[in-house]
Amino acid sequence: MALPGGLGNVVESVVDDRVTDEALEAVALNRFEYHRILELLGRPPNELELGMFGALWSEHCGYKHSRALLRRLTTESPSLLVKAGEENAGAVDIGDGLAIVFKVESHNHPSAVEPFEGAATGVGGIIRDIFTMGARPIALFDSLRFGPLDTPRNRYLAGGIIGGVGSYGNCVGIPTVGGEVVVEDCYAGNPLVNAMCVGLLRHDQLTRAEAVGEANPIILVGADTGRDGIQGATFASVEDPEKSARGVVQVGNPFLEKLLIEACLEALTTGAIVGLQDLGAAGLTSSSVEAAARTGAGVWIDVDKVSRRAARMTPYEVMLSESQERMLVVAEKGREEEIVAVFDKWGLHSDVIGAVTSDAHVTVAESGTPVARIPIEHLNNPPEYRLPVELPDYLATVNDLDIGEIPEPDDVAEAFLSLLSSPNIASRECVYRTYDQTVGSNTVAGPGADAAVLRIKEANRAIALSTDGNGRICYLNPRAGGAMAVAEAARNVVCSGARPLAITNCLNFGSPDNPAVYYQLAEVIEGMAEACAAFDIPVTGGNVSLYNEADGVQIFPTPVIGMLGVIDDVDLRVGIAFAGEGDLIAVIGYVHGSLDGSEYLKLAHGQIKGRPDIDLSREVAVQSVCTSAIEARLLTSAHDISDGGLAVALAESCFAGGIGAAVDPGSTSARSDELWFGEAPSRILVSLVPGNLEEAKALASARDIAFEVIGRVGGGDIVLGDDVTVPLDSAREKWSTGLSAALSGKSAAH
């Protein structure tokens, strides 16, 4: 059979319209999609072409199940230099001619199979998304979720993932300054690894990932291409990665990545680069097609020119390899040597593997003969699905929390201490001390703070960033949960003294073919959209990871929000630590929380129930009171009240400051567990010198928000009304060792 356009002889098609289900399953396409391909091409695709469609039409690359829903998210803002979807990541103006590029991405499925390399290459992949835009990566965040740490398997996965994250980030020299560690039953067998990278650039350094200019050479730089990771994109889009071979997981080389960062940023200064695109999922196929799609151009790729790690690789293997640490450079014709010289300096070899064409096709050639030829627009426009939505059955049951059936704790102090040592609340230091947090010499506040704060050397300002997810809350109330994830990330950034500017997001969900899961996805996105509108901040891009389930258990719907804020004057920054003996402690917003979806309810009573909710206008008001008070320099500390409620927030501020505190909200109507351990959004714990109280109260009352003084900083104990008096040191001991004991299998309770 001949390809259209007089391209001469072609390879024999190994799959045609009688293609088997197995052949389609191997490339994660369904029969409807296959017929669509037949229609678009007007002929059967050959094996390579089918593989290319499979990769680019996968959920990982094509967002075919989520794209329609994602349109709900605000992507417009005057502060955006690059909007969602335009490039590899969004770019946000932070003033002074500077911009921040940031994005969060998942590497869940590879990490479930090979935790160390899966997590390491997740970090490597997101770093490439950032420097491909011309930005220098300045920070990493890692939001991790594991199954219960009482099984050796989950501890192995957790240990490997934490090790992989640290190993890659430390070597490549980008500080890991924040993230999350969450433990929940639903992540057993399907851990979540979401990595965020943040880059800094001057506006004039912004680089496009474009294949532009006919006959401009396409240069592949970095690692040789091997058989590792073939079909990784499609693998991430099927339900049971364990079934697939370990060979689809790639192996990372952070040293090579470091060389690539330096070489690419230096090569960009030559001015001879017209486009730069990283190779991620679906390797050469997606990078060349995406770069061409941005300009409407075409690309010609000569697979013979690609340096390889293995002998006798087929064009299929070369085009779909996901070997790490590779970049695609589109050079100005005639100036290739300038670019090659830079890569030579860094000991990296570079291959001219093709050229930009004007035919709007991707053409793959072997020995000068085309072996695949597909119009780029077909590859780049996967079908879009809106799947059936069904209210999940479980909601009615879990939303029905009768608080009257929950006994109040006999010993509040004991409940408090056991909460402090819960793996979801205890200090994360045993994890983050294995990460380099200060390389780059920009870290003003690192892990353990509400948000990481990085100074910008080129200006007096700083940026604050936080990553937050809340699978349990989204499970109980998907719409409110989506909004609360955004709200909490914003609150963390606000507590550091920053104004929220923009978010990136990673949506981790189960199988969209399950109508209840698709309902969760739709509702969570709706909630996020509502919150973004309330805060007036845009979404700059992100990533969708579906099919997160193991042994028939769907993970909780887990959006992870990466929030960027800016602090105009770095001196305005506030931390969580109590500082001065005699300072007043107050809560902005309601003092009381509820047990709905709380860590306490799960820990003490084994229940994940209730219907958490949020009033967004109230949330915005609480945050704006906090911002005004910080900008007026009224607050000594500010700390988001979240997991574990008021008692845990108070303890964390005490530990950070090395000083005790005594609080007594003076209400007798509430239950002790709700008062101390209840959770609810829109609450911030602050401390301030008594002389600032009137002014702070006035700011709050102007926005109709409560500002209630509940106690004072000082002493060597944590005192919770009449319920608890514990020495600071013994509370800290519980908090310091809870997670490390669980991770090492030494914890009795978990």
Partner 1 sequence: MKACVIVFPGSNCDMDTFHALKTVAGFDTDLRWHRDTDLAGYDLIVIPGGFSYGDHLRAGAIARFAPALREVAAAAARGVRVLGICNGFQILLEAGLLPGAMLRNNTLQFRHEWVNLRVDSTSTPFTRECDPVRVLRMPIAHGEGSYFADAETISRLKHEGRVVFTYTDDNGRAVREANPNGSLSNIAAITNERGNVLGMMPHPERCSEPVLGGEDGAMIWRSLAA
Binding site for partner 1 (CB under 8 A): 166-167, 170-173, 253-256, 258-259, 346-347, 432-444, 455, 457, 570
Q: How far is the CB of 356 from partner 1 (least distance, A)?
A: 31
> What order of strands is seen across the sheet that includes strand 136-146?
80-82, 90-95, 98-106, 192-202, 136-146, 176-183
Residue 34 or 168 with smaller CB distance to partner 1: 168
CB 556 within 8 A of CB 475: yes
Q: How far is the CB of 658 from partner 1 (least distance, A)?
A: 11
SS3 720: strand
Q: How far is the CB of 501 from partner 1 (least distance, A)?
A: 21
Q: How far is the CB of 231 from partner 1 (least distance, A)?
A: 28
Residue in 60, 109, 361, 592 annotated catalytic: 60
Helical H runs in 198-335? 232-235, 254-268, 283-293, 315-320
Residue 444 or 608 with smaller CB distance to partner 1: 444
Helical H runs in 447-496? 471-476, 478-495
What's the rounded Cα separation, in Å, for the pair 644 and 426?
Answer: 10
Q: 73: Cβ–Cβ under 8 A, 6 or more apart, which residues?
A: 84, 525, 528, 529, 532, 539
588 residue type, one letter: I
Helical H runs in 42-187? 47-56, 59-62, 67-70, 108-113, 115-131, 152-172
Residue 151 or 460 with smaller CB distance to partner 1: 460
SS3 674: helix
Q: How far is the CB of 136 from partner 1 (least distance, A)?
A: 9
Which residues pair with residue 119 across a beta bridge?
none
Q: How far is the CB of 172 from partner 1 (least distance, A)?
A: 7
Residue 184 or 436 with smaller CB distance to partner 1: 436
Residue 17 or 344 with smaller CB distance to partner 1: 344
What's the rounded Cα separation, in Å, for the pair 28 and 719?
Answer: 58
User: Which DSSP symbol is given to 203?
Assistant: G
Residue in 65, 107, 361, 378 annotated catalytic: 107
Residue 238 or 444 with smaller CB distance to partner 1: 444
Among 215, 356, 170, 389, residue whose Cα is nearest residue 277: 356
Among 143, 115, 112, 131, residue whose Cα is nearest residue 325: 131
What's the rounded Cα separation, in Å, for the pair 629 and 438?
Answer: 29
Q: How far is the CB of 659 from partner 1 (least distance, A)?
A: 16
Residue 201 or 259 with smaller CB distance to partner 1: 259
Residue 254 or 541 with smaller CB distance to partner 1: 254
Cα torsion 127, 133, 134, 136 to 10°: value is: -30
CB 717 within 8 A of CB 727: yes
Q: Residue 459 corresponds to which tokens in the numbers above?
A: 């200006």
* Residue 642 C-alpha from the chain's centroid: 20
Q: 404: Cβ–Cβ under 8 A, 6 or more apart, which residues?
A: none
Q: Is 60 a catalytic residue?
A: yes
Q: Are strands 717-720 and 661-663 parallel, antiparallel or unpaired?
A: parallel
Q: How far is the CB of 137 from partner 1 (least distance, A)?
A: 11
What's the rounded Cα separation, in Å, for the pair 542 and 106?
Answer: 9
CB 720 within 8 A of CB 412: yes
Residue 161 or 608 with smaller CB distance to partner 1: 161
CB 421 within 8 A of CB 742: no
Q: Rounded to the nearest 5°, which phi and psi values hold at 704?
A: 60, 40
- What residues are annotated to the active site? 60, 107
